[in-house]
A and B are shown apart, each in its own frame.
Chain A
Amino acid sequence: MNKVVNNVDEALVGIEDGMTLMLGGFGLCGIPENSIAQLVKLGVKDLTCISNNAGVDDFGLGLLLHGRQIKKMISSYVGENAEFERQMLSGELIVDLIPQGSLAERCRAGGAGIPAFFTPAGYGTEVAEGKEVREFNGKPHILEMALTADYAIVKAWKGDTEGNLIFKATARNFNPMMAMAGKITIAEVEELVPAGELDPNDIHTPGIFVQRIFKGEKFEKRIEQRTVRSKS
């Protein structure tokens, strides 16, 4: 089944105001930067964005925040973005902060047909407020609900025309689970090859989870914290 669309314009057709989007990435690593640029261009607003982080002030989801396109963020860590913190503290932006492992599992569960699950993470904290608590093996756990999205937008290293995806290094992060949890999943890839060129043994995300795939025009791949050691 050919999932290829020609470009980012075609890939993002159907995204409207008020929709819920999942966006892959951890920090600025493995984010769908071409699609984010397109969302800025489209100007869609009142979005609910599910993403581990919120980018930095001038890159990643920070670009959408800057244009006030996001109504609600569901994230685990937003510490690198001053505009985010400002909008959140002033009440302009609704923010649901949830533990990173719970976020990952909630996306996975959403894609896997599991409506909810119990986890010990967050028990006894404000994350647990209003959530069912149950004890298993003598330890309290809280009930977390699955997450799904109207569109999931992920970024992969290589993909084929069938939508099979391979991720590189730690750019994998949330992308595979979010790919599973989108009603429509859009994958932007660095390299797009004909079906048969990727070894089926190497596929991380099978094409069944991907509805549209395109080759990103440009990947800046900005580094958030450049840390090096000297050769001497």
Chain B
Amino acid sequence: MALDKNGIAKRIAQELRDGWYVNLGIGIPTLVANYIPEGIEVEFQSENGVLGMGPFPFEGEEDADLINAGKQTITVRKGAAFFDSAMSFSMIRGQHVQLTVLGAMEVSQNGDIANWKIPGKMVKGMGGAMDLVASAENIIVAMMHSNREGESKILKKCTLPLTGVGCVKKVVTELAVLEIRGNKFYLIERAPGVSVEEIISKTEGDLVVPEFVPEMVL
């Protein structure tokens, strides 16, 4: 069965390594914080200016001055730090953040990502996404395999305005874990009960399928 959003987040959380600083984007990526594997310590950076982000506050304890990049009220953990936006992006551009997890509207087989604009329809802006994808060494994209019309979002070439070029290395969808190497998608894992045929049929880009594709262990 295809994963739900929490399932995607849970699978991505398995990629976390002890001691990493991690930036989580809005949407599914935010959920990754709920599934940190046992025995691993990571710190979450939010680009509006906080390191050491904690869970949402208890009702009545919200602080308007303490939010994450999604403008949600948050708390901080012991040992947290606040800083201005220039310093925040120094951390990002300077590659002091080990992992970036973000959503996408489209990803292509050369690692391009589009997630900020639909010309004439939706113009929300890129926020910090362009800075993040241009500099992060390790980017995981959390997304659905197809759009609402059933069209694949895993493409040979992106059709929407790009956020970054040649930067995505790994994609986790409700159906599969894909890696991008040498201008191709590689099928690494499939969601429990999802067939290789279904993944092939829903992937527009070139997909390399090994003889045996293991199921995700969640």
Name A residues whose Cβ lies closer than 8 Å to a Cβ of B: 26-30, 52, 75-80, 85, 88-89, 95, 97, 99-105, 107-108, 119-127, 157, 167-177, 204, 221-231
Contact = CB atoms under 8 A, between A and B. Distances in A.
Given A89-B120, A97-B126, A225 B84 contact: no
Given A26-B48, A100-B126, A100-B128, A177 B86 contact: yes
B148 interface: no
Given A99-B130, A100-B131, A228-B58, A170 B165 contact: no
A170 B162 contact: no
A190 B166 CA distance: 46
B65 A29 contact: yes
Interface in B37-71: 46-50, 55-59, 61-68, 70-71
B73 interface: yes
Contact of A99 (B74, B86, B123, B131): B131
A226 B73 contact: yes
Contacts of A126: 161-162
Nearest to A205: B84
Contacts of B59: 228-231
B89 A224 contact: no
A172 B123 contact: no
Contacts of A99: 126-131
Nearest to B161: A126
Interface residues of B, number: 52
B73 A76 contact: no
B164 interface: yes
Contact of A125 (B48, B122, B124, B162): B162
Contacts of B47: 100-101
Contacts of A104: 84-86, 88-89
Interface string B152-184: 000000000111111000000000000000000
Contacts of B124: 77-79, 85
20 contacts: A52-B85, A77-B124, A79-B125, A100-B127, A100-B128, A102-B131, A107-B86, A121-B134, A123-B165, A124-B164, A125-B161, A127-B126, A170-B68, A170-B82, A173-B84, A177-B85, A224-B67, A227-B72, A230-B58, A231-B59
- Please name the 6 residue pairs, one residue from A and one from B, whose CB atoms are nearest each other, closest first: A101-B89, A79-B124, A101-B131, A124-B165, A104-B85, A221-B64
Given A99-B131, A230-B59, 5 more contacts: A89-B123, A97-B126, A101-B88, A120-B135, A170-B50
B92 interface: yes
Contacts of B131: 99-102, 119, 121
A67 to B, nearest CB: 22
Contacts of B96: none
Contact of B84 (A77, A127, A175): A175
Given A79-B125, A227-B73, A228-B62, A108 B86 contact: yes
Nearest to A177: B86
B114 to A, nearest CB: 9
Which of B61, B127, B166 neighbours the largest number of chain A CB atoms within 10 Å of its CB?
B127
A173 B71 contact: no
A226 B126 CA distance: 23
B64 A101 contact: no
A169 B129 CA distance: 22
Contacts of B166: 124
A161 B119 CA distance: 48
Contact of B128 (A80, A85, A101, A127): A101
Given A100-B47, A170-B49, A172-B84, A77 B127 contact: yes
Interface in B4-22: none
Contacts of A120: 93, 134-135
Which of A119, A169, A223 neighbours the largest number of chain B CB atoms within 10 Å of its CB?
A169
A146 B74 CA distance: 32
